Amino acid sequence: MAELVWERTEFIAENPNASVPTSFPETRRASLGHYGLFYKVTKTRVIITAFWDNRQDPKKLYDLLKDN
């Protein structure tokens, strides 16, 4: 799994707008099987805001992302 996360973050760094936009402002989601990687893109950085196990309660994810 660690290798997949590394590969996906490298891909995101090179293609920050390739992943799916979410309903949260400036937040995108990359899929990693049972996991989701949520991030924001600035002019100089990609900021990972959540690494999420999709089998969890989605309300917890909502609470986490609304504060970022």
Which residues are bridge partners to 29 per DSSP? 20, 38
Mean pLDDT confidence for 39-47: 91
Structure tokens at 61: 């994810």
Q: Which domain holds residue 38?
A: 2-66
| Amino acid at the residue 15 | N
Q: Please, which pLDDT band fits residue 68 given cuts at 50, 70 and 90?
A: low
Q: Please, which pLDDT band fits residue 12 given cuts at 50, 70 and 90?
A: very high
Q: What are phi and psi of 20, to 5 degrees?
A: -75, 130
Domain tally, the chain: 1
Nearest Cα to Cα of residue 51 among 29, 20, 68, 26: 29
